Amino acid sequence: MFSLPGLILLGLFLILPFVFAIYLSFTNQKLASPLPVRWVGFDNYHRVLTDGDFWRAFANNLLFAAVVVPVQTGLALWMAILVNKRIRAAKVFRAIFFLPVVVVMTVAAVIWFLLLDPNRGLVNGFLGAITFGAVEPGWLQSTLWAMPAIIIISIWQGAGFQMIILLAGLQDIPQELYEAASIDGATKRQQFFYVTLPQLRNTLIFVITITMILAFRLFDQVWALTRGGPLNSTDTVMVQLVDTGFERKQIAVASAIAVIFFVVVLSLTLIQRIFLKEERS
């Protein structure tokens, strides 16, 4: 009886549409179309997997993940270590670093849109001033710099969240380990590599997996800022999915993308489980 509302809602809004997505992906269903629905087998999958735009989007997700996962996790770990020190104002800094997390992504996007304007933006104003005008990228208007811009915005918005999770992990490390290490003459650097990192292992695996999954879900900031452009340079799997299913109304093809996407996320999660299992045994 206690579980009934939850079961019904999960069934209706998660399980049913997911099963429906799998079914749709084998048909030729379109949104708001009078054509009769036909079973088309693996046609949609074939179409998606041979589509250059899809692979371009997938490669962008991989690129995004390859930069954001190490950079953001590293930055978050550094921030967590800094605010974990016994210094005054640590809590104030912790709050400041977390602040962008409560900023809605679409709002973050417009603020950065102005900051990254190639001619009038503050970022190029600053870069131009310190390099005497030598480095002034075109950011969102440039095929080369649009992805780095999306990456910077994402890190700005997300690093605080990971910092808090890593901070909780840091505070769980028994202080005696550091005392023992420093009695044995370990330097700060050695303490970091031989105490902090191994003790944080599970937290780090969790943070890295979550960041990887979020990297594959990348959508909001791209949709709000570039819609995948210029020239597909910021296109992602999720942008492809919404573009195909919603703008072009081909929900069967979009469902095939959704199923492929699910398989990728599932594999990432299983990889995490395997790593965590090793640790436990």
Query: What does the per-residue mask of binding to another protein show for 24-43, with x meaning CB under 8 A?
Result: x----x-xx-----------
Structure tokens at 77: 């770990």
Contact residue for another protein among 48, 151, 167, 222 (CB under 8 A):
167
Q: Which stretch binds another protein (CB under 8 A): 19-27, 43-51, 53-61, 138-146?
A: 19-27
CB–CB of 62/268 below 8 Å?
no
Q: Which stretch binds another protein (CB under 8 A): 39-47, 48-56, 114-122, 142-150?
A: 114-122
> What is the closest distance, in whole angstroms, from the C-beta atom of residue 243 to another protein in the complex?
11
Contact residue for another protein among 160, 222, 226, 234 (CB under 8 A):
160
Any contact of residue 164 with another protein (CB under 8 A)?
yes
Burial class from Cβ neighbours inside 10 Å (0-12, 13-18, 19+) for residue 235 reads buried
> What is the closest distance, in whole angstroms, from the C-beta atom of residue 128 to another protein in the complex?
8
> What is the closest distance, in whole angstroms, from the C-beta atom of residue 123 to another protein in the complex?
9
> What is the closest distance, in whole angstroms, from the C-beta atom of residue 274 to another protein in the complex?
14
196-225 residues near another protein, rule: CB under 8 A: 202-203, 205-207, 209, 213, 217, 219-220, 223-224
Contact residue for another protein among 62, 63, 122, 135 (CB under 8 A):
122
Of 62 and 270, the one with the shorter C-beta distance to another protein is 270
Contact residue for another protein among 63, 66, 144, 168 (CB under 8 A):
168
Of 43 and 220, the one with the shorter C-beta distance to another protein is 220
> What is the closest distance, in whole angstroms, from the C-beta atom of residue 52 to another protein in the complex?
22
The DSSP-derived string for the chain is: -TTHHHHHHHIIIIIHHHHHHHHHTTB---TT--SPP-B-TTHHHHHHHT-HHHHHHHHHHHHHHHHHHHHHHHHHHHHHHHHHSS-TTHHHHHHHHHGGGGS-HHHHHHHHHHHT-TTT-HHHHHHHHHHTTS----GGGSTTTHHHHHHHHHHHHHHHHHHHHHHHHHHTS-HHHHHHHHHTT--HHHHIIIIIHHHTHHHHHHHHHHHHHHHHT--HHHHHHTTT-STTTT--HHHHHHIIIIIS--HHHHHHHHHHHHHHHHHHHHHHHHHHHHHH-
50-89 residues near another protein, rule: CB under 8 A: 78-79, 82-83, 85, 87, 89
Of 126, 152, 129, the C-alpha closest to 139 is: 152
Contact residue for another protein among 10, 135, 180, 231 (CB under 8 A):
10
Any contact of residue 114 with another protein (CB under 8 A)?
yes
Q: How far apart are CA 115 and CA 109, in angstroms?
A: 10
181-200 residues near another protein, rule: CB under 8 A: 182, 188
Any contact of residue 135 with another protein (CB under 8 A)?
no
